C-alpha cells in the first residue's frame, strides 16, 4: 500500500545565488555558489553528499550528471540529470526526497541551475527539437497570452478591465522583490507603468512577463528522524505531487483555456497527501509559477485559493500581498526574483524554507505553518506541474 511522503524527509540546508543577468558568471560558478551555501547551511562537508539530482533544461547549462559533478568535483557519486521543462527544479527535489525516503541514502543534494544569458537573445530560446517544423512560431508569452484573451472574454472583462486586474499581480511582486536582495528586479512599479508598458504578446505587456535570469538554488535533504541532528529548525516535506497532462488541451475542444487542469489536479493530490481540507485557510503562503500575470491569476483559482472566475476580487482585496490572508510570491516570484528555468522550483522552496525559519527579513510573513510551491513546465494546454508542500 502506497504511503504519503508526509514527514518522512526534511530539508536541512539550502542555498540560492542572486538571480539576474549575471554576465560574469557561468553555470559552473552558479552551481558552486548555491551548493556551497547549502553545504554550509546544513553544516555538512561536500564529501557527506551521497547522491545528487541535477536539474537543468538547456544543454548549455550542463549535460548528464557531469554538469554537476565537474564544477563541484563531486567524487564518484550517483547523479541523475532531471529535465521537466520549467518545472525541472521541483522535480530534482522530488526525486531526491524519494531516494532518502526509500532509505538508501542519508544525505543527498538537489540542485537546479540555468545560465540563460549566454544565448544572445532576450526571452527564452525555444530549443532545437527535430520536429515536423510546422508548429506555430511560438513564444511563451504568446502561448500564455491566449489564456488572458479567453479569460477576459469568458468572464466579461473588457481588455482594459482585464489588463487592470492582471496589473495588480506584477505590482505586488515588484513590491516584494524590492525587499529581496537576491532578486533580479528590486524596484517598485505602479499600475500605470504596467498598463503603459510595451506589448510583448497582446494582451500581455512587458511587466506581465517574468524575468529571464541566470541563477542556481540547492537543497540538502535528510531523513526526518535525522533532521534535528543538523539544525534545530528543519523544514519537513508534507507533500510531493506532480501531474503530467496528456496534452489534450492542444487538440480537444473540451479545453477552456482559462484554467490548467494539471495545476488543479496536482493541487488536489498535494492537499490530500498533506491532509489539507481547506487550502485557502490552511496554506500559510505560496510561491507559484507566475511566468506571466495571467498564469498566477488562474493558478489562484486552480489551487482553490479563489473561486473560479473570481480571482479579481482577491487581487483587489490584497489577499495575496505580504499582509494579506494568503501571501503569494513573498520573494517577488518568477516575476522579480527571476526565472533561471532549472533553478526556479528550488528557488521557490528556498523562500518557503526561509519564511518557515523566520529568516525572510523585511518580507517575513507572520508565523507561517505551511508553505506551498507550484512549478509548471510547458504551456497551458499541455504541461507538467509540480506541487510541493512543506511545513514545520
Partner 1 sequence: MIGIKSYGAYIPYYRLSRSEIAKTWGGPALPGEKAVANQDEDSITMAVEAAFDCTRGIDGANIDGLFFASTTSPYKEKQCSTIIATVLDMGKEIRTADFADCLRAGTTALRAALDAVKAGSAKNILVTAADCRLAYPYSMLEQSLGDAAACFLIGDSDVAVEIEDCLSISYEITDVWRTDEDDFVREWEERWVITHGYSQNVEEAASAIMKRNGLSAKDFAKAVIYGPDPRSHAALVRRLGFEENQVQDTLFATIGNTGTPSAPLMLVAALEEAKAGDNILFASYGDGADAFILKVTEQIERIRERRGVKIHLASKALLPSYGKYLSFRKLVQLPPQALRGTGSATIMWRTKNWVLGCHASKCRKCGLITYPIQRVCYGCQAKDDYDEISLSREKGTLFTFSLDNIASGGINPPIIQSVVRFQGGTQFYCMMTDCDPKEVRVDMPVEMTLRRLHEEANFHNYFWKCRPPREGG
Binding partner 1 (rule: CB under 8 A), the pick from 53, 255, 320, 353 is 255
Confirm or reject binding of residue 204 to partner 1 (CB under 8 A): yes
* Residue 387 near residue 239, CB atoms below 8 Å: yes
Binding partner 1 (rule: CB under 8 A), the pick from 47, 75, 133, 232 is 133
Binding partner 1 (rule: CB under 8 A), the pick from 381, 386, 390, 391 is 381
Provide DSSP, 22-91.
-TT--HHHHHHHHHHHHHHHHT--GGG--EEEEE-SSGGG--TTHHHHHHHT--S--EEEE-BTBTHHHH
- Annotation marks residue 175 as catalytic: no
Q: Which of 184, 289, 339, 374 is catalytic?
A: 339
Nearer to partner 1, 190 or 252 (CB): 252
Instruction: State in angstroms the smallest separation of the CB of 367 from partner 1.
Output: 41
Residues 6+ away with beta carbon under 8 Å from 320: 172, 300, 305, 314, 326, 327, 328, 329
**Where does this chain touch partner 1 (CB under 8 A) — which range of 46-54, 119-127, 221-229, 263-271?**
119-127
Angle, in degrees to the nearest 10, between helices 293-302 and 261-274: 50
Provide DSSP, 314-370.
HHHHTTTSTTSSS-B-TT-HHHHT---GGGHHHHHHHHHHHHHTT--GGGPPSS--E
How many Å apart are CA 225 and CA 228, to the nearest integer?
A: 7
Q: By rule CB under 8 A, what count of residues binds partner 1?
A: 44
- Annotation marks residue 339 as catalytic: yes
Nearer to partner 1, 141 or 377 (CB): 141
**Where does this chain touch partner 1 (CB under 8 A) — which range of 21-29, 110-118, 242-250, 336-344?**
242-250
Instruction: State in angstroms the smallest separation of the CB of 146 from partner 1.
Output: 5
Nearer to partner 1, 53 or 255 (CB): 255
Nearer to partner 1, 143 or 222 (CB): 143
Confirm or reject binding of residue 1 to partner 1 (CB under 8 A): no
Give the H or E element holding residue 99. Answer: helix 88-101
**Active site (catalytic) residues:** 86, 339
Residues at the contact surface with partner 1, assessed by CB under 8 A:
121, 123, 125-139, 141-150, 153, 198-204, 246, 248, 250-253, 255, 257, 381
Amino acid at each position: 500500500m502506497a504511503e504519503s511522503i508526509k514527514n518522512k524527509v526534511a530539508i536541512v540546508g539550502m542555498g540560492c545565488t542572486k538571480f539576474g543577468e549575471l554576465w560574469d558568471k557561468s553555470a559552473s560558478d552558479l552551481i558552486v555558489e548555491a551548493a556551497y551555501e547549502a553545504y554550509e547551511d546544513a553544516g555538512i562537508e561536500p564529501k557527506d553528499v551521497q547522491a545528487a539530482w541535477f536539474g537543468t533544461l538547456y544543454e548549455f547549462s550542463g549535460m548528464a550528471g557531469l554538469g554537476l559533478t565537474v564544477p563541484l568535483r563531486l567524487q564518484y557519486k550517483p547523479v541523475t540529470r532531471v529535465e521537466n521543462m520549467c518545472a525541472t527544479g521541483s522535480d530534482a527535489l522530488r526525486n531526491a526526497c524519494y531516494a532518502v525516503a526509500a532509505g538508501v541514502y542519508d544525505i543527498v543534494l538537489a540542485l537546479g541551475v540555468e545560465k540563460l544569458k549566454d544565448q544572445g537573445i532576450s526571452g527564452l530560446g525555444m530549443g532545437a527539437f527535430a520536429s515536423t517544423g510546422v508548429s506555430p512560431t511560438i513564444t511563451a508569452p504568446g502561448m500564455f497570452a491566449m489564456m488572458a484573451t479567453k479569460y477576459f472574454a469568458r468572464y466579461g472583462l473588457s481588455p482594459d478591465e482585464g489588463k487592470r486586474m492582471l496589473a495588480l499581480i506584477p505590482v505586488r511582486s515588484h513590491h516584494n522583490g524590492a525587499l529581496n536582495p537576491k532578486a533580479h528586479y528590486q524596484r517598485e512599479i505602479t499600475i500605470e507603468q504596467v498598463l503603459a508598458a510595451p506589448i510583448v504578446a497582446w494582451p500581455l505587456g512587458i511587466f506581465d512577463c517574468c524575468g529571464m535570469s541566470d541563477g542556481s538554488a540547492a537543497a540538502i535533504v535528510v531523513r526526518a528522524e535525522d533532521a534535528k541532528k543538523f539544525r534545530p529548525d528543519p523544514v519537513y516535506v508534507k507533500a510531493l505531487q506532480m501531474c503530467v497532462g496528456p496534452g489534450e488541451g492542444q487538440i480537444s475542444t473540451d479545453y477552456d483555456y482559462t484554467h490548467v487542469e494539471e495545476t488543479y489536479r496536482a493541487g488536489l493530490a498535494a492537499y490530500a497527501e498533506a491532509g489539507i481540507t481547506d487550502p485557502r485557510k490552511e496554506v500559510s503562503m505560496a510561491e507559484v509559477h507566475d511566468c506571466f500575470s495571467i498564469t498566477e491569476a488562474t493558478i489562484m483559482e486552480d489551487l482553490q485559493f479563489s473561486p473560479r472566475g473570481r480571482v479579481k476580487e482577491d487581487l483587489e482585496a490584497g489577499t495575496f500581498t505580504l499582509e494579506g490572508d494568503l501571501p503569494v510570491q513573498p520573494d517577488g516570484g518568477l516575476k522579480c526574483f527571476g526565472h533561471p528555468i532549472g533553478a526556479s522550483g528550488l528557488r521557490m522552496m528556498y523562500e518557503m524554507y526561509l519564511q518557515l525559519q523566520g529568516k525572510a527579513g523585511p518580507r517575513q510573513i507572520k508565523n507561517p505553518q505551511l508553505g506551498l510551491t507550484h512549478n509548471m513546465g510547458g504551456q497551458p494546454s499541455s504541461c507538467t506541474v509540480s506541487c510541493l508542500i512543506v511545513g514545520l
